[in-house]
Amino acid sequence: MTKNFPRVPLRELLIPVSRPESVDTEKEYRILGAHWYAKGLYVKDIKSGSEIQANKVYRVEKGDFVYNRLFAWKGSFAVATDENHSCYVSNEFPCFKVNPERIDAQYLWHYFSRAVVWEEALGLSTGGTPTSRNRLKEEKLLAMQIPLPPLPEQRRIVVKIEELAAKIEEACRLRQQVMKETEALLCAEMTKFFNNEQKKWTVLPIRESPIELNRETRNPANTNPNDEFQYLDISNVEGGTGRILNTQILLGRDAPSRARRVIRQDDIVMSTVRPNLKSFTIIPSELDNQICSTGFAVFSCHTDIEPKFLLYQMFSNYFVDQCTESMKGGHYPAINERNLLRVNLILPPISEQRKIVAYLDSIQAKADHLKYLQAEIEAELDALLPSILDKAFRGKL
């Protein structure tokens, strides 16, 4: 049954409160920020007074309704929790005491967790300079109206929202668990073929295998300065999946200094920086004779090795563990070409390689289908809570 709740301006429910404190250079301050999308306050910085440029900071107490003037349109609204008590905000975060005789603080927070309210805040925001753009002033906030049922009904709505939100959160957790188990299954299947106990097939270091490493380089700025080429950078390859997300189309004369490695169809490329992230992929026909970053090692397979077999092996712990053991560098740990050539590969006969590829392809196809179904479920779950909130504040929950 739909209930028509009276709409009340926030000025009748919120009391502006300010607790300024002069900054003490000897004191430590926990400075709060407000997450977008009404996800709560968080400790953004812990600073000594000597590191704070402002003369004053403003103390927050549990139960305060707090928002960020500059990002109200992004949903930066929150109610202060125990963890936020006695922390501080800048003067861009107005604080209000909530009148407990009129409105439940959690009811208020849930109301401000809705995209339609953020859109209303955007419409009320003003500012003509880059520093004042989209600022929601206090008087505009206090003029906003909220549907206000009696307190017992507010509390019933809060309990119902939180019960349903908990069920959605559990469904999301289970979905994530299924995804992890799916990835673990493929990893386990690869481990059957690629492991240190493998005795029946040949094991060779890359330098002795039927693979050429980084066989061709070209500087597009010199060879084709006025022609376009497709450039594959490390960031264009999704770690752990082998998916090419996109490429950049550049003129030869605009080629970055790292755009030097020629790639051919069925080459395998691996990021030598943090190989544990598994940014590896096989080059499709549309990228034949294009250019990739020198941050990749390019593997070109001869007839005795199936490219897809090599790619699966590279995704295995057997291969990755060897690479990570040889990584050098602090900020950008990487394996150099000399050490990469020492990494061992398991090389069964080509006929056996193709059987393994067919088997792992079938497992991968099942995993991909499951991921597709899980993505659909995720989209439905993402839409569920906004729908629940919408019903709640229209008196239909």
The pLDDT tens digits of the residues spanning 280-321 come to 999 999 999 999 999 999 999 998 999 999 999 999 999 999
pLDDT over threshold 80, residue 333: yes
| Domain assignment present for 270 | yes
| Domain assignment present for 360 | no
Q: How many residues does the chain have?
A: 397
Dist. CA 78–CA 109, nearest whole Å: 6
Strands in 20-22's sheet, in edge-to-edge order, are: 20-22, 56-59, 88-89, 28-34, 41-48
Question: What does pTM read for this prediction?
Answer: 0.61
pLDDT over threshold 60, residue 130: no
Dist. CA 261–CA 268, nearest whole Å: 12
| Domain assignment present for 281 | yes
| Domain assignment present for 280 | yes
Q: Are residues 141 and 206 in the same domain?
A: no
| For range 187-200, the mean pLDDT | 82
pLDDT over threshold 80, residue 7: yes
103 burial via Cβ count (<10 Å: 0-12, 13-18, 19+): buried
In the chain, the number of structural domains is 2
Dist. CA 326–CA 343, nearest whole Å: 9
The mean predicted confidence, pLDDT, of the chain is 91
Q: What angle do CA 39, 44, 48 make, to 5 degrees?
A: 155
Identify the CATH number of the domain in which residue 128 sits.
3.90.220.20
| Domain assignment present for 257 | yes
Q: Are residues 222 and 334 in the same domain?
A: yes
Percent of the chain at pLDDT exceeding 70 = 97
| Domain assignment present for 178 | no
Dist. CA 182–CA 177, nearest whole Å: 9
How many CA atoms lie less than 13 Å away from 254 in the CB half-sphere? Answer: 10
Between residues 179 and 311, the one the model is more confident about? 311
| Domain assignment present for 284 | yes
Q: Are residues 32 and 110 in the same domain?
A: yes
Q: Are residues 27 and 130 in the same domain?
A: yes
292 burial via Cβ count (<10 Å: 0-12, 13-18, 19+): buried
Domain boundary among 347, 365, 390: 347
Over the stretch 155-167, which tens digit does the pLDDT of each residue have?
A: 999 998 888 888 8
Query: What does the radius of gyration of the chain's CA atoms come to, in whole angstroms?
Result: 29
| Domain assignment present for 157 | no
Q: Are residues 127 and 46 in the same domain?
A: yes
Q: Are residues 136 and 234 in the same domain?
A: no
Q: Are residues 14 and 131 in the same domain?
A: yes
Provide DSSP, 21-79: EEPPTTSEEEEEEE-GGG--EEEEEEEEGGG--SSEEEE--TT-EEE-GGGGGGT-EEE
For residue 1, name the pLDDT band (cuts at 50, 70, 90). very low
Identify the pLDDT of residue 116. Answer: 93
Q: Which two tokens stand for residue 164?
A: 């349903």
| For range 238-261, the mean pLDDT | 94
Identify the pLDDT of residue 81. Answer: 97
Q: Is the dihedral of CA 272, 273, 277, 282 positive or negative?
A: negative
Dist. CA 52–CA 49, nearest whole Å: 5
How many CA atoms lie less than 13 Å away from 237 in the CB half-sphere? Answer: 27
Amino acid (1-letter code) at residue 21? E
Q: State how far the alpha carbon of 53 is from the alpha carbons of 90, 230, 237, 279, in Å.
A: 11, 47, 42, 43
Q: Which of 111, 71, 113 is nearest to 93 (CA)?
A: 71
**Which of 108-112, 171-175, 187-191: highest mean pLDDT?**
108-112
Q: Which two tokens stand for residue 18?
A: 């300010």
Give the three-class secondary structure for 347: strand
Over the stretch 364-393, which tens digit does the pLDDT of each residue have?
A: 888 888 777 777 777 777 777 777 777 778
The residues near 88 (Cβ < 8 Å, ≥ 6 apart) are 21, 29, 30, 31, 32, 57, 58, 59, 60
Q: Are residues 135 and 263 in the same domain?
A: no
| For range 168-197, the mean pLDDT | 82
| For range 182-197, the mean pLDDT | 82
Domain boundary among 102, 126, 148: 148
Q: State how far the alpha carbon of 176 is from the alpha carbons of 64, 169, 184, 379, in Å.
A: 34, 11, 12, 13
Identify the pLDDT of residue 300. Answer: 96
**Number of neighbours of residue 102 by Cβ within 10 angstroms:** 14
φ/ψ region of 278 (left if φ > 0, alpha if ψ in -120 to 50, else beta) reads left
Q: Are residues 236 and 336 in the same domain?
A: yes
Q: Which two tokens stand for residue 363?
A: 């497992």
Dist. CA 191–CA 185, nearest whole Å: 10
Domain boundary among 148, 181, 215: 148
Percent of the chain at pLDDT exceeding 90 = 74
Q: Are residues 240 and 325 in the same domain?
A: yes
Identify the pLDDT of residue 165. Answer: 84
Q: What angle do CA 393, 396, 397 make, to 5 degrees?
A: 85
Q: Are residues 236 and 341 in the same domain?
A: yes
Between residues 363 and 82, the one the model is more confident about? 82
Give the three-class secondary structure for 372: helix
Q: Are residues 111 and 242 in the same domain?
A: no
Domain extent for 249: 202-347
pLDDT over threshold 50, residue 114: yes
The residues near 155 (Cβ < 8 Å, ≥ 6 apart) are 104, 107
The residues near 372 (Cβ < 8 Å, ≥ 6 apart) are none
No. of helices (H) and no. of strands (E), the chain: 9, 21
| For range 23-27, the mean pLDDT | 94
